[in-house]
Structure formats: structure tokens, C-alpha cells
Amino acid sequence: MLLTSYQLGNLTLPNRLVMAPMTRSRAVDGKPTAETATYYAQRATAGLIVTEGVQPNEVGQSGPFTPGLHNDEQVAAWRVVTDAVHANGGRIFAQLMHGGRVGHVEVAGHRPVGPSALSTGSEVFTPTGLQPAPVPRALETSEVVDQITAFAEAARNAVEAGFDGVELHGANGYLIQQFLSSSANQRTDAYGGSVAGRIRFAVEAVEAVADAIGRERVGIRLSPGGQIQGIVEENVPVLYGELLKALPDIAYIHVMATTDEEVLMELRKAWPTAFILNPGGQIGPDESTLEQGRRWLANGADLISYGRAYLANPDLVERFRLGLPLAETPGRETWFGAPNGYVDYTGYQH
């Protein structure tokens, strides 16, 4: 079933494997490079590729050497990437990732912003190495709309750059999840407090993007109950149940297995369109397996996303199809910004 086709919005996917978004930190001046085009084109046999996180505006940049989609030069550079993927028969969504409080003045030249003036309590990547996360500036109510607008404008830029759609990053402790979180969001205005207040930013951002480029071109990634970068979420089944009810019927939700299977199954039942499941859960040392993908498809997921397995296996679909062994995923030292460990992996050597 993993290798059968699937209709996702207006796209016919040849299989149900999704290449999950993974930060690679190899952009130059906020732009993807020729190597970026090679990297994604090598993996174009995936049913769908979701790119690394792309900042929708300058203040949304969370780490060094990450790409953006907020000026004409970035759009032109991404066009080279999307053309390469499409030339190899692939389909590609841009993940729009606003770091919110996960950032540093050395990264973006701005003090990070967030729902409240509360630090993650962890460290963040900067051009000079790991540093303690700063206390962000709390967004004024009037400024929240500016961040929502940035997502919509970046989505328009993504379509101009040739992307088939966009995924909003609502997981892993970045801005959208900061608004969902009771630990990061202690606002007393309409964007905080109750469940209805804490889901409002996510819903309005998705609605704005859907209005900008069409619902069939929009997804959102979620990590219900995921505890990373200082995030705590209270009453996860209710919080995410209400969120899914309030979201428009976009192309998909992309859910990380960061909570109990029972909760994940209820979210699957509650969601009317495509349900992408990432079996790996919270970011960690273990890769998702073919067996996990098959089991989740049998349990109702429509598509399965794989992250680390795609680093050293650009031909992951073919390896799964033929039952070939996977190449060993490289060490963490090659994940971000290294001169190797990017486009130097080949298909299976028969």
C-alpha cells in the first residue's frame, strides 16, 4: 500500500512516501544554492517532498544559513530548485517556518518575537555556535496580524517560485506551536488564555494562506503534546480536537507521533482530508521504518513521512520497493552546513 498512488488535492502522487522537512543549513545569503536543487532533485521519486523550513519574513529566521521566501532574489533561487524537482518528475511543497522565540539577534539581526516574553530555557544555534535562547519581545495584538500576513505573502511567493504548495510549520516549538502552548503563550488578549484563544493564531494563519493560494495547496505540520524547546501543552486531545474542528479543509495535516496512539487515532478520525503521519515522533536518534509506515497506513493514515532515512537514501522509494537494505544515516555532524553529507549519497549499488 505504501507504493500505491494517492490523490492529494490536485496532485496525483505515485506513492505514499513523503520526504519530511529537515533543516540542512546550507543557504547562502538566505537563498538556496545549486546544490540545494541537486539535493531535492535526487529525491524526486518521493510521492511528495516537503522542504526544510523556509522563513516567511526576516524576523522569522530561527537559525543560521536557512533560506527564506520573502524577496525576489529568494523566489528566483527557489525556482531553480522546483524546476529541477519537476524535471525529475517530482512534487514539492515549501515548509513555511517562523521561528518565533526560537532565534537570536546574531541570526536575523532582530530580537526574536513570540506570543509572550518567555524564553525557551534552552540553547539556540547562532553563527558563533550554541548560545542561550534570549527572551523574545512579546508581539502586540496589532502585530500578530503582521505575522499572519507574512505567511500568506510567503505562500504567494512559493507559488511564484514554482512550488506545488506550502506546509505551515506548526510543530517542534516554533511560532505556531508557541501560540498553542500554555507554557509559551500567557497572553490575555484574544490570542491566548482559553483553548479558543490559543488555537486562533494557527487557524488564522492557515486561513490566510488558503485564501492566498487555494486550500488544495496547503498543509500544516503538528506535533501534539511534543515537548521540545520549552513547549508544554495542556489537555492535548481537547486542544488538537478543537484545532482540527476550526481549521479549513486544507489538503492535509502532517502529524508527528508525539502523543499516545489513541489520541493520534482520534485525530485521524476527526480530520476530513489527507492525514500524513510521521512515525518517528519527537526528534531523536531513531529512524522510522518500513514496518512502521505499513502499520500506520493499516491504521488509517493516508501518507507516511520519512526524515533521516532520506538523508543517505535518495532512492528510498526504490529501496522499499525492492526490499533493499538502507544506507546508514550519517552522524549529526553532517546534518547542518557541513561540506559533505548533502548531495554525495547515491542510489543502491547493485
The residues that are catalytic are 174
CA-angle at 283, arms to 279 and 287, nearest 5°: 50
CA dist 133 to 3, 101, 121, 179, 233, Å?
42, 8, 6, 18, 20
Sorted by sequence, the CB contacts under 8 Å of residue 4 that are 6+ apart come out as 15, 16
Beta bridge partners, 303, equal 276
Check if the beta carbon of residue 28 is closer than 8 Å to that of residue 57. Answer: no
Check if the beta carbon of residue 271 is closer than 8 Å to that of residue 237. Answer: no
